[in-house]
Structure 1
Amino acid sequence: MYLLSSIFQNPEEMFDILQSSLLPMIKGALYYSIPLTLISFTLGLIIAVFTALARLSRFSVLRGIARVYVSAVRGTPLLVQLFIIFFGLGSLGVEFLKLEPFPAAVIAFSLNMGAYSSEIVRAAIQSIPKGQWEAGYSIGMSYSQTLKRIILPQATRVSIPPLSNSFISLVKDTSLASLIFVTEMFRKAQEIAATNYEFLLMYMEAALLYWIICFILSIIQGRVEARLDRYIAK
């Protein structure tokens, strides 16, 4: 009610506040939120592939290590993981463990994304019929060649929709990086709100920007999935 009354009483002032805060928030998104998402997702996907292959390995040690990693990451909150990597490791007094906010956020988000995405990749690989493996072996391919040339391309098409959802979720999760002083979009909203005291207005503006970014990504996701469906149908 306070926000609505302020808008109706001082619409020009509210518009000026929104307009002046828009560019800093967009810069926070372009300089930190989006790069953090892209880097973390890329590294997380690499971790996910190796973790999924370890889960499917015939070596029990590799399966055990991968299982513990996935269980530990999925069983603890992302915020706790962020704090452990940034504040916890930094408090040990070891110089190389004292990370800057952005690298610490990249590590935390990558490890988190790797654990969750590894289950998607593993399920995608397991969804490929065993006959595909046998076909590769029958023409003289090794395990790695069959995996690289036959299995992974098919598994990629299967895993793109859920991985796209994970990517969109990661965009929103980057707001947690504000708690370890990464000046991404939500951190900018907090800083601006601390000067003009329009906390609700600033947070709603940040929420709107997150929504717009995720909406655009959802449209892109839909088009990619539609193209994949046409490709598979052929």
Structure 2
Amino acid sequence: MRALDLEYMWDLVPVLVGYIPLTLFMALVGMAFALVLASVMAVERVFRVPVVDLFVRLFISFFRGTPLLVQLFLFYYGLPQVLSFLTNINGVTATIMGLTLHFSAYMAESIRAAILGVDRSQWEAAQAVGMTQLQMMRQIILPQAARVAAPTLVNYFIDMIKGTSLAFTLGVTEMMGAAQKEAAGSFLYFEAFLVVAAIYWILVEVLAYVQRRLETHLNKAHAR
């Protein structure tokens, strides 16, 4: 049994850390788009607009029921064969698309549950003062639902960061892709993947800390 090459691992850290901005970029952009799309779908699922509701349910069912990796391959390798304008799509764009659609399906259900969890008296009060459904959702319901859904949404963001590791299958050199290349050149696969695992672990722990602080802040604000 050979000893770990600690010097190699130490030298590899700054190399992989240099790809953190790309990982965070894909996750943040994907999260922003997913949050908007999920909110729209959640509101639709609450009001159940005829015909539209069928498509939304199919969308959620498909993206919750198929693996993220399969979806990424569909966007990057499959769709360009069907839609010519996507021929020049790059791996980063395909990854963001995949993360957006995949996680928006999960987030939509979480946001819908949070919306339905708002006390009915809030809905009745908004209607009593003559608010339209759009005004009621924007000014009364969604802000309260956001407090309930926030911790869960942070969890999805954490999962999204881990999901960016699949981008290397589309030719994107992010942290996982860089670790794969370094390992292929040195044949020190265990060390390389141990370093990248540690970096992801640290990122997730930082976000978990932020999540705990956010929950504490929201609970204090609600208590007041």
Alignment-derived partner of residue 109 in structure 2: 119
- Per-residue CA deviation, residues 127-146 of structure 1 (Å, 9 max, x unaligned), is 01221111011112111111
1:197 maps to 2:187? yes
Equivalence for 1:16:
7
Candidates 67, 83, 100, aligned match of 2:90 = 100
* Contact 1:89–1:98, Cα closer than 8 Å, also in 2: no
Distance 1:78 1:58, change over 3 A: closer
Distance in 1 between residues matched to 2:191 and 2:145, nearest whole Å? 44
Please tell me whether Structure 1 or Structure 2 has the larger radius of gyration of its CA atoms.
1
More moved, 59-68 vs 89-98 = 89-98
Q: In the aligned structure 2, how far is the partner of 1:62 from the partner of 1:93?
A: 24
Distance in 1 between residues matched to 2:48 and 2:89, nearest whole Å: 36
Check whether the contact 1:85–1:108 (CA below 8 A) recurs between aligned residues: yes
Identity of aligned pairs, percent?
A: 33
Secondary structure at the residue paired with 1:195?
helix
**Aligned equivalents of 1:187 and 1:59: distance in 2?**
43
**110, 122, 134: which is aligned to 2:100?**
110
1:36-115, aligned counterparts within 5 Å? 36-92=26-82, 94-115=84-105
- Separation (CA, whole Å) in 1 of partners of 2:123 and 2:148: 17
Cα distance in 2 between the residues matched to 1:70 and 1:164: 19
- Determine the C-alpha separation between the residues in 2 that align with 1:204 and 1:36: 22
Measured in 1, the distance between the counterparts of 2:79 and 2:56 equals: 22
Matching residue of 1:188: 178
Question: What stretches of structure 2 of length at least 5 have no aligned partner?
Answer: none
Structure 1 stretches (4+) deviating beyond 6 angstroms?
Answer: none
2:148 aligned to which of 154, 158, 172:
158
Distance in 2 separating the partners of 1:148 and 1:93: 36
CA distance in structure 2 between the aligned counterparts of 1:213 and 1:96, rounded to whole angstroms: 33
Checking the alignment, whether the CA contact within 8 Å between 1:56 and 1:63 is kept in structure 2 is no
Q: Residues 77-124 of structure 1: CA distance to partner in whole angstroms, max 9, x if unpaired? A: 100000000011223471434310100111011001111100000000
In structure 2, C-alpha distance between the alignment counterparts of 1:58 and 1:217, rounded to whole Å? 34
Superposed, 1:20-35 pairs within 5 Å as 20-30=11-21, 32-35=22-25
Match of 2:208 in 1: 218
Cα RMSD for the two superposed structures: 1.3
Q: Following the alignment from structure 2 to structure 1, what is the Cα–Cα distance between the partners of residues 23 and 86?
A: 25
Q: Does residue 131 of structure 2 align to residue 141 of structure 1?
A: yes
CA deviations 1:8-58 (Å, max 9, x no partner) are: xxxxxx23311221112111112x111111000111011100111121224
Q: Is the 8 A contact 2:79 2:86 kept in 1?
A: no
Maintained 8 Å contact 1:86/1:98: no
Q: What TM-score does the superposition give when structure 1 sets the normalisation length?
A: 0.92
- Aligned residue type for 2:58: V
One of 3, 23, 35 as aligned partner of 1:6? 3
Q: Does 1:175 align with 2:172?
A: no
Structure 1 residue runs without a partner (length 5+): 8-13
Change (3 A) 1:121 1:97: farther
